[in-house]
Amino acid sequence: MWAVPAAGAAAIVVVAIAAARWSPGWYAERLAVGDVAAADRDARRLVTAVAGLRVAAGQPGQWGVAIREQELNAWLATDLPRHHAAALPTGVREPRVGLEVGRVRIAARVAMGPIEGLVSLLVEPRLRANDQLELAVSEARCGALPIPAGPFVHRLASLFRRLGFATDVRRLDGRSVAVVSLGGRGAVLRGVTVDAGELLIAGLTEETR
C-alpha cells in the first residue's frame, strides 16, 4: 500500500475544500440583492400572488398564477431570513433558484462542521395524471463535486409531507422520484410549466354540492 505524504494529503484536503466551495455562475448572479427597496417590492408581489392563488383555488372556476424567478429570489433574499428563518434547516443559508425550460435549479450554502459548501440540485418537475406531481433530482453537487441525489429526493418528499400533502418516493424510469398527490377539496392542478425565468401554475376548482 502506498503511503500518502503529509504534504500530499494536505493538498488533497485543500483541493477538496475548494471544490466544495465552488459556486456555479447562475448562483453567483442571483445571490446579490442589489436595490433592497426593489427586492422588497418583488418579494411582496410574490406573497400577494400566492395569497391570491389560495383564494382563487378555494372558489369554483379556473385559476392560475405566473411566478417570476426574480420575485422568488427576492423573497428568498429578504422575506425568508427576516420572517421565516426557522423554516431553513440548521446550517443552511442563502438559498436561490434558477428557472429554466422544464427544470429548476436550487442551491444553498450548507455548513458541514467547520467546512461550508454550496449544495446545488437540478430538479425536473412533471405533472402526471390523477393530479400528481413528480419531482426528480437529476443532478446533485456539493460545489463542483457530484454527490448522490437519492437523499435529496427523500428530503423533498419530507418537505411536502410537512406541508400537508400525501407524498411517497417511487422508483420510476430507473431513478427515485418524489410523487406528491395534490388533489382534494375540489381543486385540481391542471398544469405546472417551468419556463426560462418563470413558473406557471394552473388548475380548476369544481363546485361542490
pLDDT tens per residue across span 38-56:
999 999 999 999 999 889 9
Q: Is residue 46 part of a domain?
A: yes
Residue 55 lies in a domain: yes
Length of the chain: 209
Each residue's pLDDT tens digit, 181-192: 876 657 888 889
Q: What percent of the chain has pLDDT over 90?
A: 51
Q: Residue 137's domain spans which residues? A: 6-205
Q: Could you say which DSSP state residue 112 is in?
A: E
Instruction: Give the pLDDT of residue 6.
Output: 55
pLDDT, one tens digit per residue, over 95-138 is: 999 999 999 999 999 987 777 889 999 999 998 876 789 999 99
Does residue 38 lie in a domain region?
yes
For the whole model, what pTM was predicted? 0.83
Please list, in sequence order, all residues whose beta carbon lies within 8 angstroms of the beta carbon of residue 162, skipping any fewer than 6 positions away. Answer: none
* 124 inside domain: yes
CB-based contact 153:176 (threshold 8 Å): yes
Split into its structural domains, the chain has a count of: 1
For residue 117, tell me if it sits in a domain. Answer: yes
Examine residue 1 and state whether it is found in any structural domain, yes or no: no
Residues 139-152, mean pLDDT to the nearest whole number: 91
Tell me if 131 is assigned to some domain: yes
Q: Is residue 50 part of a domain?
A: yes
Sign of the dihedral through C-alpha 202, 72, 153, 139? positive
Q: What is the mean pLDDT of the chain?
A: 85
